[in-house]
Amino acid sequence: MSLYGLKRRSHPEIMEKQIGFLINPIAGMGGSVGLKGTDGVLDLAVKLGARPVAPKRAEMALESLRARNGLTFITASGEMGEDTLKRVGISSYRVVYDPVTQTTSSSDTINLCKRFLEVGVDLILFCGGDGTARDIY
């Protein structure tokens, strides 16, 4: 018994949490070739040899969450989230948004975040740069 007469539990119940998961697949590409980002200069970054880094970084972050019980990821299809969840082996996810085109944009980030709000996610986990952070905010 605790001070207030309540029973203490040695293992608190696990409550299901919904994690909004978003990747900006082009985030980080500009910096690798000396640009300040990829906003408006993606084609130049690619010509200079930039390669996507955000999906790999997202995989690294997800590795620590893969074995956790009680987490469901809410995400977008394709490279904005679902592809990486599959690669890492996370099967507890739900797709709530499909990007309009294969090359995603800030409007896709904003629209996915609107879906996160509608679904009522508990947390947004994103892999992107400062532009992505502004779009989420």
Give per-residue pLDDT as tens, 92-109: 999 999 998 877 888 899
* Domain chopping of the chain, boundaries: 17-25+52-136
Task: Determine the 3-state secondary structure of 30 from DSSP.
Answer: coil
For the stretch 60-83, pLDDT in tens is: 889 888 877 889 999 999 999 999
Mean pLDDT of the chain: 82
* DSSP bridge pairs for 18: 72
Of 26, 22, 47, 23, residue with least CA distance to 37 = 26
Q: Is the pTM of this model over 0.85?
A: no
Structure-token pair, residue 15:
């409550």
CATH class of 17-25+52-136: alpha beta
